[in-house]
Amino acid sequence: MAKVQVLNVAVLDNPSPFGNPFQFEITFECMEDLPEDLEWKIIYVGSAESEEYDQTLDSVLVGPVPAGRHMFVFQADAPNTGLIPESDAVGVTVALITCTYNGQEFIRIGYYVNNEYTDPELRENPPVKPDYTQLQRNILASNPRVTRFHINWDGCSDKMEDSENVDPSPNSSSSSSMAPSSCLPGKALPVGLMSGNSMDCL
């Protein structure tokens, strides 16, 4: 049985201008104390044609995590537009939230993202070079694709995939609250403590 269950993911500030940060309020539960860190990532798929254009927008290490229910707001800057193929700037793409433990990914939550011009004239006659200042990002929050992986929580890297379409069930209570605003990759942050440069705890 998985030692971490993601109970709910709420998409905040949606829809929003393309350049606004991504914001997800994540509620999860630990069945027992976890001595190692959980690593959360937000990934933007720049093109369906190749993983070469995937961008990891941010990552944060959270731990050690005590047993109980926890909630935090994970915020990441918008993708680097220079790394997105111009032909893929407008239209539907995907944003992913992943979490790993001991280097093993145990959950991946994917959302369709629709980028479109709000100006009717630009919709009818889009510029050859994308104008990101005029694009609106709309994350289709009501239909996430949740893929779970069975891992060895004691540290072995062996795992097998168990994929299913699930909308994580909302839950209103939490035992701790965290709000990483510009989380630094590779920096471990204990749940319930405050770090001014990467995580604010409420």
Q: What is the DSSP letter of 99?
A: E
CATH tag for 4-201 (out of 1.10.530.10, 2.60.40.1490, 3.90.180.10, 1.20.120.330): 2.60.40.1490
- All structural domains of the chain with their residue ranges: 4-201
Contacts 24+ apart (CB under 8 A), 100-103: 100/38, 100/39, 100/41, 101/3, 101/4, 101/34, 101/36, 101/37, 101/38, 101/39, 101/151, 101/153, 102/36, 102/151, 102/153, 102/155, 102/157, 103/157
Look at residue 161 and tell me whether its pLDDT is greater than 50.
no
Q: Output the pLDDT for position 91.
A: 96
Identify the residue whose tokens are 């299913």.
Answer: 164
Residue-wise pLDDT tens digits, 19-65: 999 999 999 999 999 999 999 999 999 998 899 999 999 999 988 89
CB 67 within 8 A of CB 31: yes
Q: Output the pLDDT for position 155.
A: 63
